[in-house]
């Protein structure tokens, strides 16, 4: 059976998701491999000002997103889904780090809900509540140690990493097989070259022109290892 994943994205800025119509993800949706539904959180805000945030209890700078519109939006998404299990992904710099391993795991799920917070984040009770709902798994995810203005761009990053791993999305699945050999500890690839063989005085490494596949494989492995080691020296990991 085809592994079709439904993505429900909830945000106060639905226009952020326009790029999902492009390229690989746009094609994946056209081909029925994914279904992407975008929801405006503001539709669930019912005051005169359609406000979705308020000042933090205990004081402090900034605003916190109110639990009611989030509860209403997520309940509606869950009610309209025929999936049996749901991943509720909440983007936050305080979350678990998005890695290739996490992306690969998400690519096996049937329903992913992305909650894109803004300001100082979403009232903590929202994740607390959905952790108790049967069939829902809450996952707080961070795309890196920096603070974005909101979860929308982090959602785009996560979706791109996940969707290319869905069977049938990439034209040439061999590239996935090559990647998976180096998981989980190493996602760094060897350097790639194409024609011309000589460009601005720089030559393509001789071994790649040799036609000796065993030798090429060995060279590429060494190159990937060297790059990984250098990266580790830079980042102290």
Residue 70 beta carbon to ligand ADE: minimum distance, rounded to whole angstroms? 15
DSSP SS3 for 118: strand
Residue 81 beta carbon to ligand ADE: minimum distance, rounded to whole angstroms? 23
Nearer to ligand ADE among residue 148 and residue 187 (C-beta): 148
Nearer to ligand ADE among residue 39 and residue 169 (C-beta): 39
Taking the C-alpha atoms of residue 155 and residue 92, their distance in angstroms, rounded to an integer, is: 10
By C-alpha distance, which of 151, 87, 85 is closest to 118? 151
Count of other CB atoms within 10 angstroms of residue 221: 13
Residue 61 beta carbon to ligand ADE: minimum distance, rounded to whole angstroms? 15
By C-alpha distance, which of 86, 68, 71, 76 is closest to 39? 76
Taking the C-alpha atoms of residue 212 and residue 209, their distance in angstroms, rounded to an integer, is: 8
Nearer to ligand ADE among residue 112 and residue 224 (C-beta): 112
* Site residues (vs ligand ADE, CB under 6 A): 91-93, 142-144, 146-148, 150-151, 154
Nearer to ligand ADE among residue 37 and residue 97 (C-beta): 97
Residue 143 beta carbon to ligand ADE: minimum distance, rounded to whole angstroms? 4
């Amino acid at each position: 059976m085809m592994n079709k994943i439904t993505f429900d994205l909830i945000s106060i800025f639905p226009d952020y998701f326009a790029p999902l119509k492009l390229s690989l993800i746009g094609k994946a949706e056209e081909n029925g491999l994914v279904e992407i539904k975008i929801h405006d959180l503001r539709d669930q805000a019912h005051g005169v000002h359609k406000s979705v945030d308020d000042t933090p209890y205990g004081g402090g700078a900034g605003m916190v997103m109110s639990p009611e519109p989030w509860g209403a939006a997520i309940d509606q998404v869950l009610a309209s889904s025929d999936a049996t299990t749901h991943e509720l992904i909440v983007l936050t710099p305080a979350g678990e780090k998005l890695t290739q391993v996490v992306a690969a795991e998400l690519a096996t799920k049937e329903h992913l809900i992305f909650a894109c917070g803004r300001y100082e984040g979403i009232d903590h009770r929202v994740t607390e509540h959905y952790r108790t709902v049967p069939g829902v798994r809450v996952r707080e995810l961070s795309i890196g140690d920096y603070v974005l203005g909101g979860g929308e761009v982090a959602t785009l990053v996560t979706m791109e990493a996940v969707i290319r791993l869905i069977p049938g999305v990439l034209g040439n699945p061999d590239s996935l097989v090559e990647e998976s050999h180096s998981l989980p500890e190493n996602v760094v690839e060897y350097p790639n070259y194409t024609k011309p063989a000589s460009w601005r005085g720089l030559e393509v490494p001789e071994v790649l022109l040799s036609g000796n596949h065993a030798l090429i494989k060995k060279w590429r492995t060494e190159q990937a290892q060297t790059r990984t080691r250098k990266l580790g020296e830079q980042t102290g990991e």
